[in-house]
């Protein structure tokens, strides 16, 4: 999927102004991001028509940290330029064992998602996805947290979804 000039002009106001000697235009950059998301390739696997992969990766990293990508993708969805077809929502979780040195660390930036379960100190990763490639949202919780409680929180934070929608999840 690629965005054309007419579609790009509808979201151009959301993008930072380009200054100086620019090797990759914002349109090329967005098309490169959509290519990586759609194909699932590595950055080095980008075709040459998008420009140098390192330039695209660096800009993506910078925009991601500044919150620009969030605004751009929200605008792409709002303008219905890029849409994810959601027929069913899948939710699952997995448990990750915490390293022994990580359990006693000082909490510098708020509470940590570490809990005690039968397997020791663990963290649980909860994910809601539209399909195998499109994750909608995720969260971290202590290892003993139930999927149902965290699932309600995640699904409530997504916002409005299309009407007949199936929820697929296991009983944990």
The strand pairing partners of 135, in sequence order, are: 129
Judged by average pLDDT, the poorest of 30-44, 50-64, 72-86 is: 72-86
User: What is the average pLDDT value for the chain, to the nearest integer?
Assistant: 80
Q: Please report where in the chains the tokens 């697929």 appear, as a residue.
A: 168
pLDDT band at 57 (very low <50, low <70, confident <90, very high): very high
Strand-pairing partners, residue 126, are 93, 139
Nearest to 84 by CA among 31, 152, 38, 139: 38
Q: Are the C-beta atoms of residues 127 and 153 closer than 8 Å to each other?
A: no
How many CA atoms, within 13 angstroms, populate the side-chain half-sphere of residue 56? 25
Element spanning 122, H or E: strand 120-129
Tokens at 126, concatenated: 């909860």
Identify the CA nearest to 120 among candidates 142, 139, 151: 142
Structure token digits, residue 45: 């696997």
Give pLDDT, residue 106: 62
Average pLDDT over residues 65-81: 80
Q: Is the pTM of this model over 0.75?
A: no
Band the pLDDT of 88: cuts 50, 70, 90.
confident
Residue 96 phi/psi, 5° resolution?
-120, 130
Q: What is the mean pLDDT of residues 139-154?
A: 81
Residue 119: is its pLDDT beyond 80?
A: no
Q: Which two tokens stand for residue 122?
A: 């663990």
Predicted local confidence at residue 130, as pLDDT:
79
């Amino acid at each position: 999927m690629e965005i054309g000039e007419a579609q790009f002009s509808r979201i151009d106001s959301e993008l930072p102004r380009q200054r100086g000697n620019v090797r990759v235009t914002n349109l090329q950059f967005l098309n490169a991001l959509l290519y990586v998301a759609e194909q699932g390739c590595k950055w080095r696997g980008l075709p040459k028509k998008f420009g140098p992969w390192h330039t695209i990766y660096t800009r993506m990293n910078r925009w991601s940290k500044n919150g620009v990508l969030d605004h751009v993708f929200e605008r792409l969805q709002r303008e219905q330029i890029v849409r994810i077809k959601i027929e069913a929502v899948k939710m699952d979780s997995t448990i990750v064992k915490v390293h022994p040195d990580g359990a006693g660390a000082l909490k510098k930036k708020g509470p940590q998602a570490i809990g005690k379960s039968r397997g020791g100190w663990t963290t649980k990763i909860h994910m809601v996805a539209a399909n195998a490639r499109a994750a909608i949202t995720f969260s971290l919780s202590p290892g003993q947290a139930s999927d149902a409680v965290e699932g309600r929180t995640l699904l409530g934070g997504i916002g409005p979804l299309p009407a007949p929608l199936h929820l697929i999840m296991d009983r944990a």
